Structure 1
Amino acid sequence: MILVSACLLGVCCKYSGGDNKNQKVVDLIKKYNLIPVCPEQLGGLSTPRKPAEIQAEDAKKVLDGIGKVVNVCGEDVTQNFVKGAYETLKLANLYDVKIAIFKSKSPSCGCGFIYDGSFSGKLKSGNGVTTELLIQNGIKVYTEDDIDYKTIEKIMKIDY
């Protein structure tokens, strides 16, 4: 079982109402059981919604109740992001998920780099809120940029 950002599979759950369909990720469904999730929707946000960014040192601060996630209008949506992260973790635990493939740069799903909170398109090192929670719970998270069959097979120790 692999947890996957639903937008990467073509589900229109992106903040703008569109998707981030990635054929490389979609093709994984031929060999693997993929569980699509959108942490932002699981947290109660609508689609479409205003873009949001983490305005804290990192997602750990958000999970610890010190940092915030705000949308482009300055509205605090931290509670939605944290709720969505925990709901995603519940699904991961329910299905005994060990890895996730998430949307890069997202304030929920980003892994390694996220937008810096200034809504200027600048990136900083860090993870999205859901990614950070999953990593804290022993789940390995990758983005669509660093995944392919060979990598998945190595990660899952499957010999084809």
Structure 2
Amino acid sequence: MHKILISSCLLGTPVRYDGTGQQLLHPQIMAWQQQKLIVSFCPEVAGGLPTPRDPAEISNDKVITNTGDDVTTEFKLGARKALQLCQQHNIRFALLKESSPSCGRNTIYDGSHSGRKITGMGLTASLLEKNGIKVFSEQQMPALVQALA
């Protein structure tokens, strides 16, 4: 069985911008944990950002906080570290937090900090996909379970 990269926040680790986790309670995740198949990772923390931190959104190929700070460098570093970790552990599948500017698989916020979502991918999700790692959001658990079967 292959290891799976999973967003730390989906495992309940309080690493989200607001200092919380968003644990995904799913029997398959518990089974993977028992089998030691999960590699937990937060690209934003790995990129050097604190917890909590100002919310950030992608705008014009940059990641900008709601206070106007450009955190693109940290987000790109976190994405590169995620890819290195996947390559190091031969990880071919990732379960990442939807709508995050790092991990969003299908949607991200539109960059206006108004709460509007658009179709798009976060920096980490995009880099992993470009390098042949299949990325799923928490809303796609059945598809991930099937892909791993």
> 1:98: which partner in 2?
92
Q: Which amino acid aligns with 1:124?
A: I
1:65-115 superposed Cα distances (whole Å, 9 cap, x missing partner): xx2100000000000000000001000000000000000000000001110
Q: Which amino acid aligns with 1:48?
A: P
Q: CA deviation at 1:153?
A: 4.1
1:34 equivalenced with 2:10 (yes/no): no
Q: Which amino acid aligns with 2:4?
A: I
Distance, in Å, in 2 between the alignment partners of 1:139 and 1:2 is 10
> 1:62: which partner in 2?
none
2:64 equivalent among 65, 70, 80: 70
Q: Which runs of 5+ in 1 are unaligned?
A: 57-66
> 1:154: which partner in 2?
146
Distance, in Å, in 1 between the alignment partners of 2:139 and 2:110 is 19
Structure 1 residue matching 2:108: 3-state secondary structure: strand
Distance, in Å, in 1 between the alignment partners of 2:81 and 2:33 is 23
> 1:87: which partner in 2?
81
**Contact residue 102 and residue 142 of structure 1 kept, 8 A:** yes
Where do 1:122-137 residues align within 5 Å? 122-137=116-131
1:7 equivalent among 6, 9, 20: 9
Structure 2 residue matching 1:147: 3-state secondary structure: helix
Where do 1:53-64 residues align within 5 Å? 53-56=57-60
Q: Which amino acid aligns with 1:37?
A: F
> 1:17: which partner in 2?
19
Distance, in Å, in 2 between the alignment partners of 1:16 and 1:4 is 19
> Which stretches of structure 1, 4 residues or more, deviate above 2 A after TM superposition?
25-32, 151-154
Distance, in Å, in 2 between the alignment partners of 1:11 and 1:81 is 19
Q: Indicate how the Cα distance of structure 1 residues 32 and 154 shifts in structure 2: closer, same or farther if over 3 A, else same.
A: farther
Question: TM-score, structure 1 length as denominator?
Answer: 0.86
Question: TM-score, structure 2 length as denominator?
Answer: 0.92
Distance, in Å, in 2 between the alignment partners of 1:114 and 1:146 is 16
Is 26-35 or 137-146 further displaced after alignment? 26-35
Q: Indicate how the Cα distance of structure 1 residues 73 and 97 shifts in structure 2: closer, same or farther if over 3 A, else same.
A: same
Using the aligned pairs only, state the percent identity: 40
Distance, in Å, in 2 between the alignment partners of 1:113 and 1:153 is 21
**Contact residue 136 and residue 144 of structure 2 kept, 8 A:** no
Number of residue-to-residue matches in the alignment: 145
Q: Which amino acid aligns with 2:147?
A: I
Distance, in Å, in 1 between the alignment partners of 2:54 and 2:97 is 17
Is 24-33 or 131-140 further displaced after alignment? 24-33
